[in-house]
Amino acid sequence: MNQNNMNEAEAAKKDLASSSKMEIGELQVSSDIKLRHMVYRPAHPKATVLFLHGFPESMYAWMPIAELLSSDYEVHAFDWPGYGQSSRPSADRFSYAPIDYAEVLEQYIRASGIDSSKLVIYATDIGALPALLAALEQPDIARKIIVGDFAPFNRPQYMWGNLVALKSKPSSDVARAALNQTRDEVLANAFFFDDPAEERYMLPQEFKDDIAKGWDGDITAADAFYHYYSHFTRDQDYFEANMSKLNVPVKVVWGEKDNYIKKEMGVELAERNNLNLTILPSLGHYPHLQAPKQTADELRAEIEG
C-alpha cells in the first residue's frame, strides 16, 4: 500500500473514535422488499446524507466515509435488493432494473422518515442512475444529488468491454456465468482492476467479509447485476431523453483513473446538463474506498457550500 493510502487509512481510523455509533437493522419498504440499512444519528445533525452503493458492494462500503461524517450529519446507507442482506425476490417479482431500484430508493426515503428538504444523496455505479430516475419522477426527492463513476448514457466506447457484454444476449449469459463461477476472484480484484500491487489500497476487513457473505442466495449478487444490465439500455435511453427535466441540483464526481467507466462519460453528463463536475486526480472507480477522507471532504464541501 502506498504512503498516500496509508495516510488516508490512518486519518480515517483517528476519526472513527470520535464518531457517533451506528445502528444496523431491517426496514420493510414494500411487500416484497426488506432492506438491511445502517443509520448514524448525531444529536444535532446539520443535514442528512444517504449513500447508494454499487457492484459488488454492500452498505458496508460506506462505513469509513460515514464514520468521518457522522459527527455532523445523519447518515444512511442500505443494501440494494440482491446485495448484502437485503431481499432477493425472484426476477419475475422484481426486475432489478434501474427504474425499479429508483422506486426502492423512494420507498426507503418514505419508510425511514427522512426529510427530503435536508437530504443529500451520494450515489455511485449502479446506484447513480436510479437516483436520477427517481429525481425525474419526484423533483423534491432531495436537496442535492451527487453522482459519479456510472453510465448515464448508452456509450459502449466509454465502458469496459465486460460490462458492455452484460447488456444483451448471448454475451450476457456468458458474462453472468463467469461472474458466478469466479466469485472469489471478483471480490478479490474488482476494486483494483489491473492496478499493480503497489497501487492497491486497503479494504476494511469487515467490508470484505460482508460482501463475501452477501454474495450468495437464490439470486446472487452476480444475478442481480445481470438483471440490472438486461434493462440498462432501456433505462439509460429514458434518462437521456428526459434529463432536461431534472430540477434537483446535481453534482458529478469522477475518479480520473476509472477504467470501468471512463471520465469522458461524466464530462458528457456534466456538459450537456450544465452541471458542476469534479475529477478526482489519481483515483479510480471507487473513490469512497480508495480515499475515504478525501471523498468525505468533497462531500462535506458540497453539503455546506
3-class secondary structure per residue, 87-146 = CCCCCCCCCCCHHHHHHHHHHHHHHHCCCHHHEEEEEEHHHHHHHHHHHHHCCCCCCEEE
Q: What is the pLDDT of residue 5?
A: 54
C-alpha cell recorded at residue 257: 483513473
Q: Per-residue pLDDT for 49 more than 80?
A: yes
Q: What is the mean pLDDT of residues 192-199?
A: 85
Q: What is the pLDDT of residue 196?
A: 84
Q: What is the percent of the chain where pLDDT is above 70?
A: 93
Residue 111 · residue 134 · CB < 8 Å: no
Residue pLDDT, tens place only, 93-126: 999 999 999 999 999 999 999 999 999 999 999 9
Q: What is the pLDDT of residue 10?
A: 53
C-alpha cell recorded at residue 1: 500500500
Q: What is the pTM of this model?
A: 0.93
Q: What is the pLDDT of residue 16?
A: 43
Residue pLDDT, tens place only, 154-195: 999 999 999 999 999 999 999 999 999 999 999 999 999 878
Q: Per-residue pLDDT for 79 more than 60?
A: yes
Helix axes 232-242, 128-137, angle to 10 degrees: 50
What pLDDT band is residue 13 in, cutting at 50, 70 and 90?
very low
Task: Give the integer Cα–Cα distance in Å for 97 and 95.
Answer: 5
Q: What is the percent of the chain where pLDDT is above 90?
A: 90
Q: Per-residue pLDDT for 7 more than 90?
A: no
Q: Per-residue pLDDT for 1 more than 90?
A: no
Residue pLDDT, tens place only, 236-269: 999 999 999 999 999 999 999 999 999 999 999 9
Average pLDDT over all residues of the chain: 94
Which domains does the chain carry?
Answer: 3-304 (3.40.50.1820)
Q: What is the pLDDT of residue 18?
A: 45
Q: Return the exposure string of 236-266: e unless at least 16 CB atoms fall within 10 Å of the residue's CB, then b.
A: beebeeebeebebebbbbbbebbebbbbebb
